[in-house]
Amino acid sequence: MNDEQPGVEEAARLREELRRAKAALRRSQEQLAEVGRRAAALERELASADGRLKESWDQIRLMRASISWRLTTPIRAIRALRR
């Protein structure tokens, strides 16, 4: 019976170690899934901000191409020199 007892204890220890490893793996998988969800949300936020930035630059280009912007260029240049 002495020869069997260490084997039984070792098997119990290994089962417990396996249980803990599986629990740690589940936690890691949950964390990875959360990181993936957060990354996807950040990518959507970045795409939205990128779209708004493009729209802003388009508006600036339109404004700078306007006749009024070109006509007031000398006034802005004089104001810049006075500062």
Q: pLDDT digit string (tens) for 7-54? A: 999 999 999 999 999 999 999 999 999 999 999 999 999 999 999 999
Residue 2 has pLDDT above 70, yes or no: no
* pTM as predicted: 0.61
Number of H helices, E strands in the chain: 3, 0
Coil, helix or strand for 44? helix
Q: Are 77 and 83 in contact (CB under 8 A)?
A: no
